[in-house]
Amino acid sequence: MRYLIPLVAGAALVAGLASPAQAAPASNEWTADVSGRAVTWGGSPRTGLIELGSHRLAQPANAVTAAVTGDGVVDVRGLRADGQWTEWLEAPATLPVTTSTIETRVVLSSGKASRVKLTAKQVPATVAADDVSVAAAGRSYRVYATREGLVGGTTANGHVIRSRDHFVALPSRRGLAAKNSGNYSVQVCASNGRCEWAPVWDVGPWNTKDDYWNPSATREMWKDLPQGKPQAQAAYENNYNGGKDQFGREVANPAGIDLADGTFWDGLKLTTNSWVTVTYLWTGSGPVGTVRTSDAAGTVNVRSGATSTASQVGVAANYAQVRVTCQLTGQSVTGTQGTSNVWYRIASGKHIAKAYVAGVSGATAC
């Protein structure tokens, strides 16, 4: 369960009517009036998000600065060559790619913001550029998982937590997906062989600036820790930082991921907090698709083979992204994306029907 300060249930706060979206001209300096934008409050500590959408640059760039009038900071991310996004970085930021499309969001801790001015330019790269030319599964680490619970509360992206919900929380908003989006998703596998694919919709446990899956060159805090080791685990096991988290609280478990109740009980069939293997799918490359179910809180069965009679070896949550290793012909299935006999292999021995996965392009035959 979460060990951050108690959650304050959030709600969508509209500080006036939002202006209709208009296509702005391409430019490397632009401003956004945010005084009338919807603010989504949630998470713990409580934060507000104002999604500003994407902006086309006149000249490709890899660095963004931002000035906010009022409260808040600005997160930025860039569109990669494969159509996926980099992680969110707090401005001023140097992105791992040179891009012509930037997306931004304002993060509030309290109060309001009225205006944001942004500038994008090209600067010498500080880290190696993302290589998306070759398919890769993404970084994978074994971490301790706790059950989030908090049914009826609001996550950091504004999602109201349902009974037996399906999502995860990671201790950094760099991998926080927007509500009803899965462009930051994980594959979580338990020692019993079951896996779930779920979107990242909350921030925690313990810390909020611990992107431990990243190398020290880009990790936001705790750069002296080994890549893949959450700060909470180091604090709990090795008395790192005096055994305390970034807020000075005594760490009571080594958790590096929180699982929503449905992910915990139904997806992975866990009965107690456990060690799991997590793949941070956005750190990979190659064909990707988005799971879509008719029920907003639904899941799709993941099978050991390309047929509904094959054993169920996990589930994929609505809005979760899946990395497609290859595709094969199997049983014909009718789902939200039509009728098809194509199945996607999304991990070794793990298959999902194409009829429930949108947007896959470039998948090769198994």
Give pLDDT tens digits for 279-320. Answer: 999 999 999 999 999 998 899 999 999 999 999 999 999 999
* Model pLDDT, residue 117: 97
- Residue range 220-234, pLDDT digits in tens: 999 999 999 999 999
pTM as predicted: 0.92
* Model pLDDT, residue 19: 37
Q: What is the largest CA-CA distance in the chain?
A: 58
* Model pLDDT, residue 136: 77
Residue recorded with tokens 């309290």? 110
C-beta of residue 57 within 8 angstroms of C-beta of residue 27: yes
Give 248's contacts (C-beta < 8 A, 6+ positions apart): none
- Residue range 7-24, pLDDT digits in tens: 323 333 223 323 334 567
Distance between CA 82 and CA 294 in Å, rounded?
Answer: 28
* Model pLDDT, residue 16: 31
Structure tokens at 299: 């899941």
* Model pLDDT, residue 132: 59
Distance between CA 328 and CA 354 in Å, rounded?
Answer: 10
* Model pLDDT, residue 137: 78
* Model pLDDT, residue 66: 97
Q: From residue 108, give the alpha-carbon distance in Å to each of 34, 38, 170, 319.
A: 12, 12, 19, 25
End-to-end, the C-alpha distance of the chain in Å comes to 39
The amino acid that residue 171 corresponds to is P
Each residue's pLDDT tens digit in the chain (366 positions)? 443 333 323 333 223 323 334 567 899 999 999 998 999 999 999 999 999 999 999 999 999 999 999 999 999 999 999 999 999 999 999 999 999 999 999 999 988 999 999 999 999 987 766 665 556 779 999 999 999 999 999 999 999 999 999 999 999 999 999 999 999 999 999 999 999 999 999 999 999 999 999 999 999 999 999 999 999 999 999 999 999 999 999 999 999 999 999 999 999 999 999 999 999 999 999 999 999 999 988 999 999 999 999 999 999 999 999 999 999 999 999 999 999 999 999 999 999 999 999 999 999 999
* Model pLDDT, residue 129: 64
Burial class (CB in 10 A: 0-12, 13-18, 19+), 161: buried
In Å, how far from its chain's centre is CA 10? 19
Q: Is the dihedral of CA 207, 9, 290, 83 positive or negative?
A: negative
